[in-house]
Amino acid sequence: MKKYDYLIVGVGFFGAISAFELTKKGYKCLVIEKRNHIAGNCYTENVEGINVHKYGAHIFHTNDQEIWDYVNALVEFNRYTNSPVAMNHGKLYNLPFNMNTFYQIWGVKTPKEAADKIAEQTEKYKDITPKNLEEQALKLVGDDIYKLLIKEYTEKQWGVKATELPAFIIKRLPVRFTFDNNYFNDRFQGIPMGGYTKIFEKLLEGIEVQLETDFFENRAYFENLAENIIYTGPIDKFFNYEAGKLNYRSLRFENETLDMENFQGNAVVNYTSHEEAFTRIIEHKHFEFGTQEKTIITREYPQDWNENLEPYYPVNDEVNNTIYNAYKKKAEALENVIFGGRLAEYKYYDMHQIVGSALAKMKKIPAKN
């Protein structure tokens, strides 16, 4: 009999919730994490009294009452509403595209005027079958919005021309004929008071966690420690890249502490032109309505991924999806390994989706006798 019932590799949301739920069911778990902290990309660190989102802005939002109740039972959430603005050549525009945006671009004041303007701008594209992202966006919103707020921002994000990106990346572009600046449509939205790390501390109470521990440096040892494995790392690495390597986009974060109370007046400002190499500036104190004397900002730079960088976004094109599907078949054939999360499922997930996925998979596991 092995020492642990479950070895959990990675301590983001999928790993931490799995450990929490399995421990409640009577299983003995060991959690290992190669970084020097818990919470995965949701990790927040207190600096100057400000909870800094170390791996980019994280806003929890969901329509699912059960998921909202679940996370609120762990920690209290504030009423933060995501209302980003976009900066383009020194001018500010509201996001998502709403009546404020249309007034800022065209001076229109009524929903009918805005709808007529979009119809006029998209008229010449209505009969095209979009072959790339640029054509898709032009068909949906027309020239002005595309050129100001989509084209160069998207090119920075993905590192290629918009004409070289597949059309399916933009399935729809939400256009709102109201003055509502709330980016999300979900019923529930907020940020944990005191930062995201608090959620993970609660989930992992009483559970053995080993940080700065790389599964692959001692794989045979770890596999022999537990009856079952929950794996949240890159799926291609788990299978020794047998079907090829998957590609990702990475990010670089540049943090700066400023001796002022308020730098930009908003938690997130997107920079939508090539004038700046970064895609956005995050001012962390505004996630929690901070009034500290100093402020901390983060410039976010997308970059091409290599094995020395952190993988953030899967590149779900045809080539990569074919490779992933080969690994998925291999994964399904393994009886004692559960693959979960963004890297193990090669899929972009919002936080609430990961929580839902972990809870659904853990519900299938019966309580220990």
Mind telling me the catalytic residues? Answer: 172, 176, 249, 280, 300, 348, 350
Q: Report phi then psi at 50, rounded to 5.
A: -110, 135
Cβ-contact 9, 15 below 8 angstroms: yes
- In sequence order, what DSSP letters do the residues of 126-145 get, joined into one string? TT----SHHHHHHHHH-HHH
Query: How many whole angstroms from its chain centre is CA 88?
Result: 24
Which residues make Cβ contacts (< 8 Å) with residue 247, sequence separation at least 6? 305, 314, 315, 320
Interior CA angle at 332 toward 13 and 324, to 5°? Answer: 75
The answer to whether residues 15 and 238 touch, using CB atoms and an 8 Å cutoff, is no
Nearest Cα to Cα of residue 97 among 67, 34, 33, 142: 142
Contact 13, 70 (CB under 8 A): no
- For residues 182 and 221, what is the distance between their CA atoms, to the nearest angstrom? 49
Helix (H) or strand (E) holding 332: helix 318-332
Residue 15's closest CA among 234, 341, 311?
341
Asked, as a colleague might, if the bond just before 311 is cis with ω within 30 of 0, I would say no
Coil vs helix vs strand at 90: coil
Which distant-in-sequence residues (6+ apart) come within 8 Å of 326 by Cβ? Answer: 243, 244
CA 230 – CA 331 distance, rounded (Å)? 12
Backbone Cα Rg of the chain: 22
Q: 133-141 vs 151-158: helix axis angle to the nearest 10?
A: 150
Let me know: does 93 contact 101? Beta carbons within 8 Å. Answer: yes
